[in-house]
Amino acid sequence: MDLFHNTLQIEEESLSLSTLASMRSLIINPSTPQSTITSILQKLIRSLELSHDKVLLHYSLNLLTHLAIHHSSFSHFVFQSVCSHSLLSAQSTRLAVDSLQVLALITERVPDPGLNTDKLDDGFFVSLCFGPSVSARLWLLNNAGHFQLRPSLLFTVFLGFTNDPYPYVRKASLDGLVDLIHHGIFEDSSLVDVCYHRAVQLLGDMEDCVRSCAIRVVASWGLMLAASNADMKSYWSNEVFAKLCSMARDMSMEVRVEAFTALGKVEIVSEDFLLQTLSKRVLEVGKKKEVFGQNTTEQFKMLAASVAGALVHGLEDEFFQVRKSACLSLQRLAVLSTEFAHEALNILMDVLNDDSVVVRLQALKTMYYMAISGCLKVQEKHLHMFLGVLADNSREVRYSARKILKQVKLNSLLLFKSTIDGLLHSLSIYPQDEADVFPAVSHIGWNHKKFVAIVSKEVFEEVEAAFEGNSEFDSARVAALLILCISASLAHVNVGTIPPVLFSYAVTLLGRISSAFIDVMERDALLAYLSDKSRSIDCFASNINHGGGEKQLPLVQGDYSYCASNDVTSLVETSHKIDVEFEIQPQFVREPKDVLNSQVEQRPVHDEVIKFTDLTLSKVPDVWSLIQSGFTSEALKILRSWKEDLASMRSDFAGSADALAFTLQYLQIIKHLAKIWGNFPQEKLICSRATGALDFELAKLDRKVEEFRIRFIGFSPQEELNVLELMLVTCVLRLCEADICCRILTLKRLTATFSQVEHLLKESSVAPSTFIAELRKLLPEGVTSINEASQSPLEFGKCLKLFCLKHFIYSGTIRHVRAELSIVNNDFEHPLPFVSGLPVGIECDITLHNIASDHRLWLSMTMNDDGPSQYVFMDWKLLEGSGEERNFAFVAPFYGTPKASSFKLKVRIGLKCSFDDAVLGQTCEGPGLGLAFLCPDKEVYLSNVLKTKSHYHQ
C-alpha cells in the first residue's frame, strides 16, 4: 500500500497505464482501505480535469465506473464529477459518450434518486449524434432510451439515421423506431406514413441485420398506420401483410424468421391474401370479394405475386427455426378465416412428416389451437399422417397428438374407427403411454357417442371373447375398449346399445380404467356407477327409464345437460335437438390433471382463461338453439354452471381479466334472455299474462345490455353489431308485450338503435342478419312519429323468431371499463368528521381501467342507503396518469350534510351513457338516468365533529 502511495506521489504529474492498472486492482479489492480509495478517486478526478490524452481519459473513466459500482458510497460523487468535468467539457464526441456511458452504468447499477442525467438535454444529444464518431453515434442510438428525450426528437433522429451509410447505425435507428412505438401514439399519421415507407425501402437493404430490423419496423409501424386509418384499415393491413410475405424468400435465415414472426402479428387480412400464402401459384380473384369491394381486388392483383406461397415456403424451409416460426404464425392466422384454416390444415398435416421434432411439435400445437378455436376439420385424406404421429417415437409428439384427439370432432364413422385403431395400435407399440391413451379414448368416446353406439356391438364381441378366453387377452386393448363404451354411457347415450355385462367386465379392470376418468369422477364413484350399471342386467329391457339411480351418482359439474326433466319419450321425439346438446357437452370436461401431462406443458394461467372463455363463447349459439327449442331450464342450468366455472377462475393478467368479465356479463345477458324467451310463447301474444314478472325481467335485461355496451370498449364493427342486435331484441321483446306502457319510448329507442345499426352496416359493409333485415321492413325510413309505426306486436313477434345468437368471438381488443375506489383512512371505527350544514370533503383513491377519453364519469353519493343522491362530475382528464390504467386521488365534496351525529354515504363511480340523452332528449342537470356503475358501492362513515369532541371531553 505504501508503495502505491509512493507511486502516486511520484507520478503526481501524469498517470500511466500501469498506474491505472494497479488502481483497478485496488478498486475491485473489497479490503482496500477507504482512504486509499479516496485518494485514487481524487487522482482520477484530477486527471479528468487536466489530462489531454484521450486513451488515458478513456481508461480513467472506465476506472471511475468500477469505483462507483464497487464502492457505492462514492457513486454520487463520481457521478457529479463526471457530469461537471468530463461530459460538458469533453474534447471529443467519443469522450463525451464515454462519460455518458459511465453515467448510464452508474444510474443503472446504483439506485440513487439523487442521480439524474438532466445534463443531457435534447440539443446536446443531437450534437453528439451528429459528431463524426460512428461508434459514439451507435452507442447513443442504442441507449437513447436511458435519457429523457422528447419522443418527437427521437423520432426525427432515428428516422434520419435510417439513411446512415453504416449498417449498424441503420439497424440501431430501426431498433429505436420499434421501441419508440411503445412510448406514445403518433397522432400525425403522415409521420407514421414516412416511417413505414422508409422501413419498406430498407427491406431491400444490402445487410441482413438491417433487413430483419426493417421487418420489425414495417410490422409495428405498418399496423399502427392501419390502425390510425379507420377507413383504409383493411387496405393497409393487407399492404403490410404483403410486404412481410415478400420477405419470406430472403436468403438470410434470420430475416425469414423475423418475417414469419411478424406475419403472426397481423390481425386483419383479407381472406384472398391468406389463401394466397398457401399457394405458390397466383390465385384467381373474384370468388367472394363483395365483402371488401373493388379496392381489395385491385390491391390483391398487384400484391398477389409477392404473397404467393409465402407460408408454404416457410413450412418447407431448410432451417427448422423458420419452419417453426411459420407454424406459429399459421396458428395466429388460422383464427382469421375458416377457409384458410381448412386449407392450411392440408399443408400442416404434411409438416407432421418433418424431420425436426421441434417443428412437428409446433405443428401439432398449431392444430390444437385450431381445434379449440373450432376450425380444425380433419378429413380422411389426413388420416395417414395424423395417425402416423400417434406412433411417433417422440413422447412429446405422441402426447400432443392425443391432446388434439381429445378436442377434435370426427365427422365420419371411418375416421372414428381409424382413430381408435390408431390409438390402440400406438398403445401396443408404446405401452408406457397407457396413462395418457386411456383419457384420450374416454374423451373420444364422450365426444362421439353416436359412433360408439354403432361400434359397441363389435366391441362387446371382442371384449367378451377376450374375457371368455377365446382370444388372446390383451388387457390394455380391452381396457381401452371398455373405457370407450363407458365414457359414452356416462354421457347418457341410449344405454340400451351397450350391454350391461360390459360394465361388469369393466369392474374387474377398475384400477386401470379409473385413470381414464380421473378428471371426471373419483374411482369410488366410478365403481358405484359401474356396479349400478352391471346390476341392471336383469332389467335390461326395461332399463330405458333410468331416472332414479342416476341421481345418486356423483356426476361431475360438467355434466349439466342431463335432461332430468324430460322423460324418455320426449327424448326420442326431440332427438335432433338433443344432438345439439351432446355436441356441447364434451367440452366441459376439464383438462386432464395428471402429473405426466403437466410436465409436458405448463401454460400460463391467463392463456387458460382466454381459452376457456373462447370455448364458452363458441358454445353460446348451441345454447341458444336449446333456448329456442324450449329447453329453457336446461339452458339455464348450463349457463349457470358456466358462470360458476368462470367465476372460480382467477386472473391477474389484464387481458384475460377483461375476457373473463366480458364473458360473465354476456352469459348474464343470455340468462335473462333465456328466462324471457321461455316466458314468451312465440305464436300467440301474452296479453292475458300477468306482466309484472316479465316486465321486471325485461328491465333487468335492458339494463344489462345497456351496461354491456358501455362497460366494454374496443368492439370491432361486427361485435358492435352483435351488441346492437341484442339491444334491438330487447326493444322488440318489449314491443311484443302488447299492453306495455312505455311503447312510445321503446319505439324511439328502437329506431335510434336501428339507425346506429344501419350506419355500422354501411360503414363496415357487413351483410345484415335476417333479423335485422326483417326489422328493417317493419321500420320504414324516417319513422319519427309513433303513429306511423303502427306495426302490431304480432309482426314484431315474427321478427323475433328470426333472431339467433351469434358466436361472439372475443377478439382480445375488448377492454373492460372498470374502476377501483377506496376511501382513504375511513372505516366504521374511524369515521370522517363533518360539521352539519357545511360541505365535507371525501378523499377517494381512484383507479380507472380502460377509460376512453370521451367517457364522462360521475361520482354518485347516496346518503343512508335510500336517501337523496348527489352527483359530482369528475374531470379525470385533468388529473395525471395515462394509458390504460390511471390512478389518482380525488376529493369529492358532499354538500348535504344532515343534522345528525353520524351518517353513512354510499359512494360509487358511474359512467354516463350518452345514449339515453340523445334518445330521450333529457336536459336535466347531473348525469340523469343512465349511469353504469363501474365499481361496487363503497361505504363512507361520517361523524359529527361536535359529537366527536364531546366524546373526547368525556
Give residues in contact with another protein (CB under 8 A).
129-132, 137, 156, 159-164, 190-191, 193-194, 196-198, 204, 206, 231-232, 235, 239, 249-251, 280-281, 294-295, 298-299, 302, 305, 308-309, 312-313, 315-320, 347, 349-351, 353, 355-356, 384-385, 388, 391-394, 429
Smallest separation, CB 527 to another protein (Å) = 36
Smallest separation, CB 380 to another protein (Å) = 13
Q: Which helix (H) or strand (E) holds 159?
A: helix 151-161
Residue 193 vs 758, nearer CB to another protein: 193
CA–CA distance, 731 with 859 (Å, rounded to integer): 29
Burial of 97 (0-12, 13-18, 19+ CB in 10 A): buried
Residue 221 vs 903, nearer CB to another protein: 221
Smallest separation, CB 834 to another protein (Å) = 57
Secondary structure (3-state) at 592: coil
Smallest separation, CB 280 to another protein (Å) = 5
Residue 208 vs 532, nearer CB to another protein: 208
Residue 161 vs 708, nearer CB to another protein: 161
Smallest separation, CB 206 to another protein (Å) = 5
Residue pair 172/201 in contact by the 8 Å Cβ criterion? no
Residue 266 vs 676, nearer CB to another protein: 266
Q: Residue 238 contacts by C-beta under 8 Å, 6 or more apart in sequence? A: 269, 270, 273, 296, 299, 300, 303
Q: Residue 546 contacts by C-beta under 8 Å, 6 or more apart in sequence? A: 492, 495
Q: Which helix (H) or strand (E) holds 842?
A: strand 840-849
Report CA-CA distances (Å) from 895 to 21, 41, 687, 871, 942. Answer: 73, 63, 48, 10, 13
Residue pair 421/384 in contact by the 8 Å Cβ criterion? no
Residue pair 884/850 in contact by the 8 Å Cβ criterion? yes
Query: What is the separation of C-alpha 713 from the centre of its chain, rounded to a whole number of angstroms?
Result: 14
Residue 344 vs 664, nearer CB to another protein: 344
Greatest pairwise CA separation for the chain in angstroms: 112
Residue 163 vs 545, nearer CB to another protein: 163
Smallest separation, CB 229 to another protein (Å) = 10
CA–CA distance, 872 with 927 (Å, rounded to integer): 9
Smallest separation, CB 304 to another protein (Å) = 11
Residue 194 vs 553, nearer CB to another protein: 194
CA–CA distance, 631 with 344 (Å, rounded to integer): 38
Smallest separation, CB 126 to another protein (Å) = 11
Smallest separation, CB 738 to another protein (Å) = 49
Smallest separation, CB 346 to another protein (Å) = 8
SS3 content of the chain, % helix, strand, coil (to 5): 60, 5, 30
Smallest separation, CB 137 to another protein (Å) = 7
Residue 206 vs 690, nearer CB to another protein: 206
Residue 402 CB neighbour total at 10 angstroms: 24
Give the sign of the dihedral formed by CA 105, CA 106, CA 112, CA 118.
negative
CA–CA distance, 35 with 855 (Å, rounded to integer): 62
Residue 18 vs 394, nearer CB to another protein: 394
- Can you tell me which residue has the cell 364522462? 856
Q: Is 782 left (phi over 0), alpha (psi -120 to 50) or beta?
A: left
Residue 781 CB neighbour total at 10 angstroms: 8
C-alpha cell at 225: 398506420
Residue 200 vs 488, nearer CB to another protein: 200
Helices (H), 185-252: 189-202, 208-227, 233-246
